[in-house]
Structure 1
Amino acid sequence: MNRVLVCCVAACLIGLMIKPVKSMAIEKVVGKIPEANIYLYATEREGNLEKFRLEANGVIQYFPFWINVSNETYWPQLIYHDINHDGKKELIIILTQGYGTGIILQEVHVLHNTETNIGNVYREMIVDNPMAILLKNVKTKLTKSEAIITIGKEKTVIKIDTLGIEPENLFSDVVTDNLIRFEVIDNQLTALIGAQIAPVGGYIGSFYITYKFQNGLYEGTNVEFVHSD
C-alpha cells in the first residue's frame, strides 16, 4: 500500500511540474496628456483593453467596467478641453467598442477635475445616451423612392434614385446604430450618428447631437441632420 501511495504522490507532483504557467497580463499606457500629467493604463485580454487605471494629479483611480478594442489604431482618445465653459478643462475619454467595414461604435466618458479631501480627482459625469436622444427627437421613414428624416418641424427628403441604389437592396428603415462617434466641435461635446439606408453605398449623412452641461449632467440639447453630398 505504501508503495502505491508513493507512486500516486510522485505522479501528482510530476503533473504539477509540467502544468503550463499562464502568462500574466501586462499593463500598458494606452493614452496620455503629458502637459496635464494625465496617464491612462489598461491591460489587454482576448482582443480588448480592460482594467483601466487613470493616474492624474498624483491620484490613482480605477475604472473596471470600461472596455476598448485592443487594436492600437482604435485606442482610447483623450481630450483635455473646457466643454462646459467654467474656465477649467475637462477630461474627455472616448472608447471604441467595435469597428469594421461601415461600423464604428464608441462611448464617451467626461470627467470633471474635482477637489476632495484626498486631493484633486476626476469625477465622472453622466452623459445622455445619444441613441435615446435620437429616438426621442427623430422620426424616419424609408420607401422605395425616398428617405424622410423629421426632426421637430424640420423635414429632410432624400431621393433614392439619385444614390444609384437598387430598391431591393434597401433596408426596411433608416439604420442608425452602426456608426456612433464622439468629437469636440466648437468647444462642445458632440455625438455623430451615421444614417444608412442600404448595406453598400447606403450612407446618407449624420445626426449631430450637441451636449450642454446642465442639471448636473451632459444633456443633448440640439439634434441636427447633415446630408452627405
Structure 2
Amino acid sequence: MKKEMWLWLLGISLLAGCSVTVPNDTVNTPAEQVSSQLEIQHEAPLIAVSEDEKVKVFARNEAQNELTEVTLDIDGKRKNFDWTIPDTGTKPQVFYTDLTNDHKEEAVIIIQTGRGTGLNHYEIHVVNGEDLSEMNVQHYEDIVAHTIESTITKKNDGTLAITIKAQGKESTFDYDFDPAPDINQAQLAFGGVVIYTVENQKIMLNIPGSIGISPIYVADVRIAYQFNRTNNEFLVEQIDVKPIEK
C-alpha cells in the first residue's frame, strides 16, 4: 500500500514538472482583439483625397460643426495642421502637382471658408511633399494693399468711370449705372469673392472688385502666382483686369 501511494505521488510530481511547447505565433486575447477593432472603428474619417490618391486629408478634431484640426497624409507621411474647415457643404479640393518647377510635387488644399449672397470665400494651403512644411502663399489682402489701385468717379449722367492700376498697367472702363448712389465709395472693395484654383501647375486667384454694401461686382481681377525661391514662397506674378459684363 505504501509503495502504491509513493508511485502515485511521483506521477503527480512528474506531471507538474512537464513543460508545454507554445507556437511562436502571437495570439491576442479577446480584450486585445476588441481594442484593435475599436481602433479601426475610430480611424479618423477621410474627408478629401487627390485624384492620384497620394494626398489624403483626415478629420482630426471637430467643434461646433467645423473641423479645427486635420491630419494630412502625403504618400504615407503624416502631419497635423490646425486648419479650420467649416461645414459649407463644399469639400476641400486636393491636388498633388509640381508648383515650384523642381520636378517634385507639392500638396495643395483649397478650403471654402464662407459662402452666401455675394460671398464666396476660399483659402489655400501648399505643403512641401518631402518634409510636410507649409509654404507661404501671398495673401490677397497684401496684393490689394501693395499692388492694386482703383478709383471710382461718379459721372453726371448717373454712370461710373472705374480705373484700376496694377503692375504699371492701367485699365479704365465705364459702368452704365450707379449701384450705390447714396454711398460715396472712392475705390473698389475686395474680399467678398476670393477663389483659388490650380491651372497648368500654377496657383490662380480671382478677386473681383465690388461697389456697394450689398456688393455689385464690376471688375474681375485675375492673379497668377509664381514661386520665389529666394523667399521660399508664392508671390504675385501677373495681374489681369477686365470689366464684368452685367
Question: TM-score, normalised to structure 1's length?
Answer: 0.76
Q: Is the 8 A contact 1:141 1:148 kept in 2?
A: yes
Report the residue type matching 2:79 in the other structure. Answer: Q
Alpha-carbon separation, structure 2, partners of 1:45 and 1:138: 37
Residue 173 of structure 2: aligned partner: 158
Q: How many residues align?
A: 196
Q: 1:98 to 1:201 in 2, by over 3 A?
A: closer
Larger proportion of strand: 1
Secondary structure of residue in 2 paired with 1:109: strand
2:45 to 12, 19, 28: 28
Percent identity, aligned pairs only, is 20
Report the residue type matching 1:60 in the other structure. Answer: R
Report the residue type matching 1:107 in the other structure. Answer: E
**What residue ranges of structure 1 are gaps of 5+ in the alignment?**
1-24, 115-120
**What residue ranges of structure 2 are gaps of 5+ in the alignment?**
1-41, 155-159
1:68 correspondence with 2:85: yes
1:46 correspondence with 2:56: no
Alpha-carbon separation, structure 2, partners of 1:37 and 1:152: 37
Q: 1:191 to 1:166 in 2, by over 3 A?
A: closer
Report the residue type matching 1:57 in the other structure. Answer: D
1:146 to 139, 161, 164: 161
Please give the residue correspondences for 1:187-226 in structure 2 after superposition, counting only pairs within 5 Å.
Answer: 187-200=201-214, 202-214=216-228, 215=230, 216-226=232-242
1:107 correspondence with 2:123: yes
Secondary structure of residue in 2 paired with 1:183: strand
Cα offset, 1:32, TM superposition: 0.8
Cα offset, 1:34, TM superposition: 6.0
Alpha-carbon separation, structure 2, partners of 1:93 and 1:108: 6
Secondary structure of residue in 1 paired with 2:137: coil
Cα offset, 1:63, TM superposition: 0.4
User: Cα deviation per residue 1:188-226 (whole Å; 9 max; x = unaligned)?
Assistant: 111211211134572113212211111221111222213
Q: 1:26 to 1:227 in 2, by over 3 A?
A: farther
Q: Is the 8 A contact 1:130 1:220 kept in 2?
A: no
User: Cα deviation per residue 1:135-178 (whole Å; 9 max; x = unaligned)?
Assistant: 11111111223222112432222323x24636236745311021
Q: 1:84 to 1:148 in 2, by over 3 A?
A: same
RMSD, matched Cα: 2.4
Residue 37 of structure 1: aligned partner: 54
Alpha-carbon separation, structure 2, partners of 1:222 and 1:34: 28
Q: Is the 8 A contact 2:93 2:111 kept in 1?
A: yes
Secondary structure of residue in 2 paired with 1:176: coil
Q: 1:135 to 1:70 in 2, by over 3 A?
A: same
1:98 to 105, 111, 114: 114
Secondary structure of residue in 1 paired with 2:132: strand
Secondary structure of residue in 1 paired with 2:129: strand
Deviates more, 1:34-43 or 1:136-145: 34-43
